[in-house]
């Protein structure tokens, strides 16, 4: 049987990784897929630029649309990123009757509902394992391996840049800005790091995971997103004193009232496995009603790690080329007409425990005022740390750990505490997740 001909859009890090993996493991991949897989055409913006892979035998062009329109190309692999030109190219490929493999999380999170609907009309597949957590096969696990479960919640460290920064802050007592600069020098963070450190990248990935977990449409615009730029080394140290570690976590939880979708810095008990995922590594913890918690860990980025997921999707597509489109694994795990448009809860209606750091006058009665306000909002205190002020007459640092509470009540309590004359500045709030129920 003739090899399946693939058109590749993008010859950057992941594109070259894909070329290399297919070349090195071609025989093994053909054994798994039942047919060979060959990249015959590839598009790159600058053809004069040196490549990190052998492109011999691949027809190169700077016209991506020419690859998409090539009648001999059966599968298009989109690795150019962004959600404008990529959307146009993917829609054109689908309209041309070609299957698509993509590593583009922004494209899927923002336009996946449209792309999947068009793909169903045309009887083709859109595969996107590499869009979440790089080489970790978490989408396949969630969509297929856990298909017998009702997913209750999931939580993920799904951005390696943020995890690297928080790890360095904890291990070496460094400031955020200092570690961010190093992450940029090492290539972990872009010159404009907003997508990583403010949680937008993680929100794209959480959108995809939640849709597959709960059988809901992709709802990126409803994800609450908070970054790590305001985390201080003092917060990291105080969390450690309390037995916690701070991670930039994406959390999706199914509740009777709707679905929680949130990305924010989070204290996690240090005994949890996911709290010990360090550096640029990723991990996703998924709680199913039958299997309980399962953890998926590995490289969240990198040339061959991500290429591993791209090639796995190519194998799936090749296996399914002759199958009835109606009997393929659905894009979002549930049949398209069975998706439930559940409400996404605003952050004010979610529930979590909280870490509070504040600066208060060092005199009798101040802590009583604070606890009275918390009590009136029915917020119970789990632990208290009070640090002696460095000098007489300067404010003392107080750390409070609360039990779980509705966010709206906590917002009210924080506003009232900040209004006290004995409190200096604003209250720092970091949410806490025990990840055990």
Task: Give the residue from 376, 357, 380, 361 showing the smallest Cα distance to 426.
Answer: 357
What band does 421 get if pLDDT is binned at 50, 70 and 90?
very high
Decide: helix, strand or coil at residue 279: coil
Asked whether residue 346 is assigned to any structural domain, the reply reads: no
pLDDT at 427: 96
Give CA–CA dist 144/148, Å, rounded.
8
Least confident interval from 214-223, 253-262, 301-310, 371-380: 301-310
Residue 421: which domain range? 351-432
What CATH number is associated with residue 364?
3.30.70.260
pLDDT digits (tens, 9 = 90+) for 83-140: 999 999 999 999 999 999 999 999 999 999 999 999 999 999 999 999 999 889 999 9
- For 276-303, what is the mean pLDDT? 95
**169, 240 Cβ separation under 8 angstroms:** no
pLDDT at 306: 93
Residues annotated as catalytic (active site), given as ranges: 205
Classify burial at 46, counting beta carbons within 10 Å of its beta carbon; exposed 0-12, middle 13-18, buried 19 or more: exposed
Question: Six-digit token pair at 225?
Answer: 């997103």
What CATH number is associated with residue 117?
3.40.50.720
- For 168-192, what is the mean pLDDT? 92
Asked whether residue 129 is assigned to any structural domain, the reply reads: yes
Asked whether residue 103 is assigned to any structural domain, the reply reads: yes
62 and 88 share one domain = yes
190 and 315 share one domain = no
- For 353-372, what is the mean pLDDT? 93
Asked whether residue 437 is assigned to any structural domain, the reply reads: no
Pairing of strands 75-78, 4-9: parallel
Q: Of the candidates 311, 338, 365, which is a domain's last residue?
A: 338
- For 376-403, what is the mean pLDDT? 89
pLDDT at 322: 66
What band does 424 get if pLDDT is binned at 50, 70 and 90?
very high
Query: Torsion angle, CA of 33/35/39/41, rounded to 10 degrees?
Result: -130
143 and 36 share one domain = no
pLDDT at 10: 95
| Half-sphere exposure of residue 421: CA atoms within 13 angstroms, side-chain side | 2
Asked whether residue 368 is assigned to any structural domain, the reply reads: yes
What are the beta bridge partners of residue 430? Answer: 355
Asked whether residue 344 is assigned to any structural domain, the reply reads: no
% residues pLDDT > 70 (the chain): 99
Give CA–CA dist 366/421, Å, rounded.
10
Is 187 a residue whose pLDDT tops 90? no
Task: Give the residue from 113, 151, 155, 181 showing the smallest Cα distance to 249.
Answer: 155
**61, 41 Cβ separation under 8 angstroms:** yes
What band does 336 get if pLDDT is binned at 50, 70 and 90?
confident
Least confident interval from 59-68, 118-127, 318-327, 394-403: 318-327
144 and 175 share one domain = yes
Alpha helices in 245-386 (DSSP H): 303-320, 366-376
Is 256 a residue whose pLDDT tops 70? yes
Question: Six-digit token pair at 317?
Answer: 């597509």
Task: Give the residue from 141, 132, 181 showing the smallest Cα distance to 160.
Answer: 132
183 and 125 share one domain = no
247 and 326 share one domain = no
**4, 74 Cβ separation under 8 angstroms:** yes
147 and 118 share one domain = no
Is 48 a residue whose pLDDT tops 90? no
What band does 437 get if pLDDT is binned at 50, 70 and 90?
confident
Task: Give the residue from 309, 105, 115 showing the smallest Cα distance to 209.
Answer: 105
Is 208 a residue whose pLDDT tops 70? yes
- For 34-57, what is the mean pLDDT? 92
**106, 92 Cβ separation under 8 angstroms:** no
Asked whether residue 73 is assigned to any structural domain, the reply reads: yes
56 and 78 share one domain = yes
315 and 395 share one domain = no
The CA distances from residue 246 to 238, 357, 432, 437, in Å, are 10, 14, 9, 19
pLDDT at 418: 96
Asked whether residue 189 is assigned to any structural domain, the reply reads: yes
193 and 215 share one domain = yes
**325, 123 Cβ separation under 8 angstroms:** yes
**77, 128 Cβ separation under 8 angstroms:** no
215 and 81 share one domain = no
Is 273 a residue whose pLDDT tops 80? yes
pLDDT at 107: 97
Cβ-count burial 243-268 (b if 16+ within 10 Å, e if not): ebbbbbbbbbbbeeebbbbbbbbbbb
Give CA–CA dist 399/245, Å, rounded.
15
Q: What is the pTM of this model?
A: 0.94
Give CA–CA dist 347/349, Å, rounded.
5
126 and 146 share one domain = no
Is 327 a residue whose pLDDT tops 70? no
**435, 274 Cβ separation under 8 angstroms:** yes
CB atoms within 10 A of CB 163: 26
pLDDT digits (tens, 9 = 90+) for 15-36: 999 999 999 999 999 999 999 9
> What SS3 string covers 207-253?
HHHHHHHHCCCCCHHHCEECCCCCCCHHHHHHHHHCCEEEEEEEEEE
To which H or E segment does residue 91 belong?
Answer: helix 85-95
What band does 80 get if pLDDT is binned at 50, 70 and 90?
very high
Q: What angle do CA 284, 104, 88 make, to 5 degrees?
A: 155
Q: What is the number of domains present in the chain? A: 3
- For 394-414, what is the mean pLDDT? 95
What CATH number is associated with residue 197?
3.30.360.10
């Amino acid at each position: 049987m003739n090899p399946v001909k693939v058109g590749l859009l993008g010859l950057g890090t992941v594109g070259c990784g894909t070329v290399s993996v297919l070349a090195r493991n071609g025989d093994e991949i053909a054994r798994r897929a039942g047919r060979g897989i060959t990249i015959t055409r590839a598009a790159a913006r600058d053809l004069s630029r040196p490549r990190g892979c052998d492109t011999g035998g691949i027809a190169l062009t700077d016209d991506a649309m020419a690859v998409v329109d090539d009648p001999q190309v059966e599968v298009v692999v989109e690795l150019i990123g962004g959600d404008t030109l990529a959307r146009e190219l993917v829609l054109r490929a689908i309209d041309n009757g070609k299957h698509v493999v993509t590593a583009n999380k922004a494209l899927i999170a923002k336009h996946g509902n449209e792309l999947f609907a068009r793909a169903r009309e045309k009887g083709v597949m859109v595969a996107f394992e590499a869009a979440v957590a790089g080489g970790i096969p978490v989408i396949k696990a969630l969509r297929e391996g856990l298909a017998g479960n009702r997913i209750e919640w999931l939580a993920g460290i799904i951005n390696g840049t943020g995890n690297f920064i928080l790890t360095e802050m904890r291990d070496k007592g460094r400031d955020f800005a200092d570690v961010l600069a190093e992450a940029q020098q090492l290539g972990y963070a872009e010159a404009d790091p907003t997508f990583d450190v403010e949680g937008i990248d993680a929100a794209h990935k959480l959108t995809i995971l939640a849709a597959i977990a709960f059988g809901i449409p992709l709802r990126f615009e409803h994800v609450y997103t908070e970054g790590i730029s305001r985390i201080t080394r003092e917060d990291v140290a105080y969390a450690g004193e309390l037995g916690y570690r701070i991670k930039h976590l994406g959390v999706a939880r199914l509740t009777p009232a709707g679905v929680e979708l949130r990305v924010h810095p989070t204290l996690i008990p240090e005994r949890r496995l996911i709290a010990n995922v360090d550096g640029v590594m990723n991990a996703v913890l998924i709680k199913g009603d039958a299997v309980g918690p399962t953890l998926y860990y590995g490289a969240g980025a990198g040339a061959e790690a991500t290429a591993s997921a791209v090639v796995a999707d190519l194998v799936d597509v090749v296996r399914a080329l002759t199958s009835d489109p109606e009997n393929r694994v659905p894009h979002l795990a549930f049949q398209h007409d069975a998706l439930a448009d559940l409400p996404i809860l605003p952050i004010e209606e979610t529930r979590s425990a909280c870490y509070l750091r504040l600066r208060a006058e060092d005199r009798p009665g101040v802590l009583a005022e604070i606890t009275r306000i918390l009590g009136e909002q029915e917020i119970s205190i789990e632990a208290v740390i009070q640090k002696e002020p460095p000098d007489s007459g300067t404010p003392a640092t107080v750390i409070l750990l609360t039990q779980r509470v509705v966010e709206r009540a906590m917002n009210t309590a924080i506003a009232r505490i900040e209004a006290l004359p004995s409190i200096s500045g604003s209250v720092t709030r970091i949410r806490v997740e025990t990840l055990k129920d």
